[in-house]
Structure formats: structure tokens, C-alpha cells
Structure 1
Amino acid sequence: MPVGPMRNKRVTIIEVAEACCCSKTTVACALDERTAHKVAEKTRRKIFETVKRLGYLPNRSAQALRLRKNYTVGVMLPEPANSFYGNIVLNLQRELAKSGYTALFVFWQTLDDAGTIRKAYDQLLCKGVDGIIAGDAPGVHFENSPVPIVYWKMTEKNDSFSSFPHMKEVYQELFSLLEAKGCRTYAVMALDMNSGRSKIIREIMNEKGIPIQEKFMFSGIASPEQARKTMTSLLKHSKKLPDAVLANNDYIALASMAAALEHGIAVPEKMKFVGFDGIQEGAYLYPSLTTFYVSPAEIAKKLIYLFLRRQKEPDVPFQTLSIKPELIVRNST
């Protein structure tokens, strides 16, 4: 008489091979994307159908030992408090899973120091990841990494994805739009006024001969609450207000716009607002927010393509991929 519950027996590769009337080597080749082309298409189709019917799951532990791979990817990003980053995280996890990889995520806060971010990097290496996908961590560099790193920023020394090659072009498009609507003075809200998109905005203003009023250049804006307080202070203490506010992301733009509306400023008639990231919420609030958008799903696909390419061909030259942000014009301008 049996004791205890019955356990479902795990289907083995031998059982799949027997059901297909072929060798387990043929099954293994068919299930490995690197060698699948060596197996006849008819046989591959039969193997895939049998795998699905029997519920066979490849033994990743055995594969890891044989191939010296763990099928894990470290992902280092700013904390996904912003829904844009949340969508990036979701899409990275989904796309990596399709390729048989597990993602190990570590996050940092905007104000975390370089030492904290470096510790997160060391933790991923201790987990034996096959590679790392890393966002832009200011002041942190990972030279001589023992595993490949794909960066979500501009760099010539690693594989990377960045929209920055198009950034000046799309902001010139924005300035043309705003100038046509009568804008002459601009405020900028950003974390750092001397780098990234803020630096590009200032370059364009200089090239166009638009006066840069330092009292409207707000640096160190890391949260919507800071943006709201900054805009409230501006409205209380400045006699002259900017015609348009260009924010580092949509949350900063929405918070500053809310403060303006609360103080009776007509948007967009008296002041216009522009964000960046294209979060869904921006389309459904009123006034709806003008912004720039790059699909999180496409960003994830580009990053993972670069990672998988490097895994298959470790010695290929570094590659940088890019997607041009789309200017989405809404009611806030």
C-alpha cells in the first residue's frame, strides 16, 4: 500500500527520443537554437510537438554544468518608481524568458552613491550571471568586467542602446513647434543641468539665440514633489514667468503643471509643459501632456538582442543601437 502522496514523474529527454523514434542527441540538437539547423525540419517539428504533448522541460542545471552557463542575466536599473521603468522591467523579464534566461534585478535610487551601485554590481557577479544589462549609473564604471555588459546609454567601449543620437534632432523639432506658438522664454527642470537632455536643450537655445535665464534653470529636481515645490516657489516669487517648461520626465512635468493650474495659470495659453517618457497617464489627464516616447518593449528587445548576440559571438565588434523618440503633441502645448 503506497505511503504519502503520488508525485508526478518528470519527463526525460530519453522518453521524448523514444516517442519520436530518434536518438536523445537528435532531440538535444533540435532543442538547442545553436544546433537546430542540423536537424531536418520534419524531425524538428515532430520533436517540438512531442515536447509539448509530454510536457518535457529541459534540465537547465545540467545544461549549465555542460555549457558553463547559468542562463541568468543581471539587470541594473534605476528603481521602477516611474512607470516607464516599470514597463522596461516587465518587458525585459518577458523577452529574456522567451530565450530561456532568468533575470536577476537590482535597482538603485536616484540619490544612491557610486559605492551602493558598485555593491549591487558585485552581488550580481557573485550570483554567477552570464552577463549584465545596465542602465546609466552616473559616476560608476565597470571596467574589466568578467562578464559582458550591455549598456542602456551611449558608450563606444561596450554594446549599447541609446536614443541620444537622435536627441538634438527631436528637441529642435520641439523648439520649432513652441516658437511657432509664440514661446520666447523657457524653464528647464532636470537632475543635472550640464549633462544629458538638459545640456542639449541649452545648446539648442544658444544656437537659436534664445536667452538662457539661469533663474529658470532648475537643477537637482529628482522627484515630482520637488518639481511641485519648485514651481510653487517660482509662481510666488517671480514677476516674469517662462512661456514653456521642459521637464526631465513626465512625472516632473505633470507635478509642475499641477502646481501652475492650482495657482490659476492657464495651460497652455499662459504656460506650456513638455515631459519625456510617454507614460500612459499623461494621455488621460487634462490638459493631456506633450511628451517624447520610445516604446519600452522595443528598448527591451534591442538590449536583449545585443546581449544574446554577444553570448553567441563573444568576439564580434561592439554595436550601438538606437531608436528615435517620437514627439507626441497634446493639450499642454
Structure 2
Amino acid sequence: MSTIKDVAALAGVSFTTVSHVLNETRPVSADARRRVLAAVEEIGYLPSAVARSLRKSETKIIGVLIPTVVNPFFAELVCGVEDCCRSAGYSVFLCNSDNDPRRQQQYMRTLLEKRVDGLLLSSAGDAAALARIFKLATVPAVTVDRLVAGAKADRVSVHNQDGAYQAVRHLLDLGHRRIGCISGPAEFEVACERIDGWRRALAERGIQPGEDWLIESDFSNTGGYEAARQLLRGPAGLSAIFASNDMMAIGALRAAAESGLKLPEQMSVVGFDDVELSAFVYPALTTVGVSIKELGREAGKVLLDRIENPGAPLKDVLLTPRLVVRESSGAPRAMPAAVNQ
């Protein structure tokens, strides 16, 4: 492997001159700079990031840990984070915990051992274990979307209760009165807040939901599909479903269509997040959310601010979602005599 001394010998300069050219730490004559860069290209020299990080006490690396790469929400989120961090000269290391809290803890420790300059996390669960790791770490950190109670970190999130309230109020304004809810896992604050928004909207219209109107699922397409099948087989006689994320809502669209229901004439479905895919399913999904890439960019900005100002007060950034009306919601009409099983 070539070294900085090899570059210096080929270029006919000192190795300190090579260092100044590569790190832009001191003006160097145009001729010397040209010879150094030509030598670097000729022998394929790559500076050691490890050595540089030891000298500067920084790696210029941001660790990003997400629950799953399958959900397009997190793919769009990471794109926003990367946009922000790359423009500031940072690289992003992405870790996918695959919704496994144990794997999440392993990745957390690995990223901290690699001395990343900052950590951005969306939790896969087991908040208590995460909080213990946060107490051991001094690295600047931001939690986004799925928050970690007790973590000493900045927070960037969406106003979940308000978004769910908007979604259900939209269905109520269309004339729906029996509106089911497919929620995410109860261990996540985001899922509980969206249930609260569903209940608040119903309560304002004097509607007390039955116990069989709410089913807990797992934020996946399959989970939403199975939960919707269960709601549609039940006695509630629902005319609409609010799903706590778009992936479950897309699963619910499939379940409703398989049951012989016309959408939105006989069943309306509304999601949450506004992933790009939601505009291209059929029928296109009505949903609430913010620009997910912008959410990622905001999280990246907050993390970079924390790296630059480690002693500043912790931030809690809350973004307000908006309703996006598409084809999957409409005024209720007569239900068929029986729903296919």
C-alpha cells in the first residue's frame, strides 16, 4: 500500500508539503500542488481516515440507526439526513436493526466504538436498554420519529396526535361515524399518540368507539392487511379505517378490495406519513404527514448543530403534519349485505 512518503518522493517535495496539499492546511505553490496531485493519482494513494481522525479527534462520520429499510418512510428519512450531512462534509454510516432490539443495541455499541461524530436514531424498541447506552455515551445524538424516553438527546418528530386527529376529522366530515383504527405497537410513543388523536376526533363528535374498532399491529403491509381483515370480519360495521402509517393503510386497501368492497364508495382508508408510494397505489392513498426528506434534513441539521455546540440546551423540534386528500377516502354509501370472508 502506498504511503504519503511515496507520494512525496514521486512529486519531489517533502511529505509535509503533501500533507498541506491534501488537507489544505497551508498555501502551496501551484507547481508543487500540481506535482503532488499527479503523484497521488499515479500511485493511487488514499489518505488514512483513521490517522486523520486520531489527529483531529473527529471522523466526519454520522451513524444512522433505523428499525427497517423495508419501510419506505425510513428510506426517505435517510435520504434527507444524507443530503444535509453530505453538504456539511460528513459521511453517513447506515445500520438496519431489522426491528430487533438486540441487534439495535449491538449496532449502537459498534457505532460508538467506531467513534462516530454523531448518532441519529429511530428506535426499534426496548427503550430502557437504549437509555442505558445513552448514559454511557458522550457522542452528540438525535432521536427522530420513534423517540427514546430518558435519552439525553435532541428530538425531532411529527405532531402525531394532531396528524391522526386531522385524518379522522376528515373522515367524520365526509359523513363516516364508525371509523376503525389499526395502530402500531403500544410500546412506541408514536403509536399511542396516534391512537389518542383518533379517540379525540371521535369524542368531539360524541362517538364512543367499540373495543372491536381498534386493533394493534406492527407498522408493516402484512400487519395492516391482517388487521383490516379482522376489522372487516367483525361485527362493528365500519365504513372507514384509519391506519397509523401508510404501510398498514396499503395493506388495508388490499384487504378491503379482496373483501369485495368498492373504495371509497363502501370503505374509506386513510394512512399516516405520506410516503411517496402512497400517491401511486390504487386507489391513491389519502394520508397525513410532512415531507419525510425534510424531516430527515431537519434531524441532520439539529445533529450538526449539536456537534458544533455540545453545551447548548437540548432541542425538541415538532413538525406539524398536513392532510393530503387522494382517492381512498369519500362519503360513505350503502355497505353490501355481507363481506366476503
TM-score bucket (shorter structure): 0.7 to 0.9
Q: Deviations over 1:150-200 (max 9, x none)?
A: 111456842121112xx3333333333222211101111122357231233
Which region of structure 1 is more displaced relative to structure 2, 152-161 or 215-224?
Answer: 152-161
Whole-angstrom distance in 2 between the partners of 1:78 and 1:231? 23
Of 139, 148, 154, the residue aligned with 2:140 is: 148
- SS of the equivalent of 1:87 reads helix
Whole-angstrom distance in 1 between the partners of 2:68 and 2:216? 20
Which region of structure 1 is more displaced relative to structure 2, 198-207 or 242-251?
Answer: 198-207
Structure 2: runs of 5 or more not aligned: 1-5, 330-341
Q: Deviations over 1:79-128 (max 9, x none)?
A: 11011211222332343222222222222233x24x33222211111212
Aligned residues: 300
Please tell me whether residue 161 in structure 1 is matched to residue 149 in structure 2. no
Whether contact under 8 Å (1:192, 1:198) holds in the other structure is no
Deviation at 1:25, TM superposition (A): 12
Whole-angstrom distance in 1 between the partners of 2:51 and 2:104? 32
Whole-angstrom distance in 1 between the partners of 2:106 and 2:51? 30
Please tell me whether residue 175 in structure 1 is matched to residue 164 in structure 2. no
TM-score under structure 2 normalisation?
0.75
Question: 2:228 is matched with which residue?
Answer: 231
Question: 2:112 is matched with which residue?
Answer: 125
Deviation at 1:216, TM superposition (A): 1.6
Which region of structure 1 is more displaced relative to structure 2, 77-86 or 173-182?
Answer: 173-182
Deviation at 1:274, TM superposition (A): 0.5
Question: 1:42 is matched with which residue?
Answer: none
Structure 1: runs of 5 or more not aligned: 1-7, 31-45
Whether contact under 8 Å (1:190, 1:220) holds in the other structure is yes
Please tell me whether residue 100 in structure 1 is matched to residue 92 in structure 2. no
Tell me the amino acid that sits aligned with residue 264 of structure 1: G
- SS of the equivalent of 1:316 reads coil
Question: Per the alignment, do residues 176 and 222 of structure 1 end up closer, same or farther by CA in structure 2, a change over 3 Å counting?
Answer: closer
Question: 2:76 is matched with which residue?
Answer: 87
TM-score under structure 1 normalisation?
0.77
Of 314, 317, 324, the residue aligned with 1:318 is: 314
Over aligned residue pairs, what C-alpha RMSD do you find?
3.5
Question: 1:189 is matched with which residue?
Answer: 182
Question: 2:278 is matched with which residue?
Answer: 282
Question: 1:36 is matched with which residue?
Answer: none
Please tell me whether residue 76 in structure 1 is matched to residue 65 in structure 2. yes
Question: 1:219 is matched with which residue?
Answer: 216
Whether contact under 8 Å (1:265, 1:271) holds in the other structure is yes
- Equivalences for residues 37-56 of structure 1 within 5 A: none
Whole-angstrom distance in 2 between the partners of 1:25 and 1:250? 47
Question: 1:245 is matched with which residue?
Answer: 241
- SS of the equivalent of 2:135 reads coil
